[in-house]
Amino acid sequence: MFTGLPDYPWKSLKPFAEKAATHKDGAIDLSVGSPIDPTPESVQQALKKFSNAPGYPSTAGTLEFREAVVEWFARRRAVPGLDPDQVMPTIGSKELISWLPTFLGLGPGDVVVQPKVAYTAYAVGAALSGATLVSEDDPDKWPANTKLIWINSPGNPDGKVLGVAGFAKAVAKARELGALLASDECYAELGWSAPWDKEVIPSVLDPRVCGDSHEGILCVYSLSKQSNMAGYRAAFAVGAKDLIRDLVNLRMHTGMIMPFPTQQAVIAGLSDSSHVAIEKEIYSKRRATLLAAVTDYGFDVTDSEAGLYLWATLGQDCWSTVDQMAELGIVVVPGSFYGEHAANHVRFSLTASDSDISRAAARLQNALG
């Protein structure tokens, strides 16, 4: 049995969730970032329409699916000129993130780089392959034997956005090292702070970033957040044709196939941008309510330029803050889940109902007396 992974970190939150549940008005869970608003009707209807799917789907994705991704990148991400052969569906983004080092043939002696404050799946992928994990944001400090570099913009948990110049520096260094630069961009439609409240958040595929070539880069995107489709496990990856071809071949051998009805649902989700604007407005109001209360309570909210979280600190150990919030009946995530550089932060999720966000804000404000 494989023993290279620790217990799933969220299990360690159980005592604090139980403590929060003893609050006289019950617990409010602002920990896991799982969407709770309805999946768009257009997506639901597409799933129903194509639910009769007796045959095996295409691992590479239908041409219609891949063309929808190409059109979406041009329309929403300022990335024109992609080819459908550069697109590959994935069963959510986490499975690709977790298995990519293995698919690339990495192992002992190879380095996988992740951000200093990082989503947990990058470390899992390195552990599964046997590669060495290095947490480093500065491209000039990436080791010579680096084979895979993960960038996450907007970041989970911190909401940090990497601009064009930062992306371009990362691409140049990765190409110098001969490493694959993989960019996790799942929160790109959810910018809050200027200039990202109005400007398109850059992609690694942006010609201002990578020039006229997509060699050595891979972009990963999910509809879980923008379209409330987490239950569909609907995502895709885009990169150079030869890389996508090889990844598709591996996925054909291992049966990692997005179901045909889900592919049709993705097409519907990408084709309809109106629901994205509506959902962003809902999150904007929740964010404003919670941000005011968290700040009034005494938290310093850092980064949080985009995405679905407030990344905040009271200047103390994160577990002390988790316990402090549990006293108020609020469950938050400790920064230590995301690496040693986040030991004083906690993450508040915006993926709760309007009512729960308002109730949490009231508890924080009432605690001030």
Q: Are 58 and 41 in contact (CB under 8 A)?
A: no
Structure tokens that stand for 99 in this block = 């298995």
Strands 146-152 and 111-114: parallel
C-alpha distances (whole Å) from 255 to each of 59, 215, 291, 322 are 8, 26, 43, 40
- Looking up tokens 């919030």 gives 325
Please tell me the CATH code under which domain 9-38+275-366 is placed. 3.90.1150.10
pLDDT value of residue 52: 96
Give the strands of the sheet with 111-114, arranged side by side.
87-90, 235-239, 217-222, 180-184, 146-152, 111-114, 132-135
One pLDDT digit (tens) per residue for the chain, 369 residues? 566 777 888 899 999 999 999 999 999 999 989 999 999 999 999 999 999 999 999 999 999 999 999 999 999 999 999 999 999 999 999 999 999 999 999 999 999 999 999 999 999 999 999 999 999 999 999 999 999 999 999 999 999 999 999 999 999 999 999 999 999 999 999 999 999 999 999 999 999 999 999 999 999 999 999 999 999 999 999 999 999 999 999 999 999 999 999 999 999 999 999 999 999 999 999 999 999 999 999 999 999 999 999 999 999 999 999 999 999 999 999 999 999 999 999 999 999 999 999 999 999 999 986
- Residue 6 has a pLDDT of 73
Which pLDDT belongs to residue 1?
Answer: 55
User: Which residue ranges make up each domain of the chain?
Assistant: 9-38+275-366, 52-272
Alpha helices in 178-304 (DSSP H): 207-210, 241-254, 260-271, 274-297
What is the token pair recorded at 126? 């390195």
Helix axes 260-271, 41-49, angle to 10 degrees: 150
Burial class (CB in 10 A: 0-12, 13-18, 19+), 188: buried
Q: Which residues pair with 333 in a beta bridge?
A: 347
Interior/surface letters 54-79, b for 16+ CB within 10 angstroms, e for the rest: eeebbbbbbeebbbbbbebbeebbbb
Q: What is the pLDDT of residue 267?
A: 98
Question: What's residue 336's pLDDT?
Answer: 96
CATH of 52-272, one of 3.40.640.10, 3.40.50.720, 3.30.930.10, 3.40.50.1370: 3.40.640.10
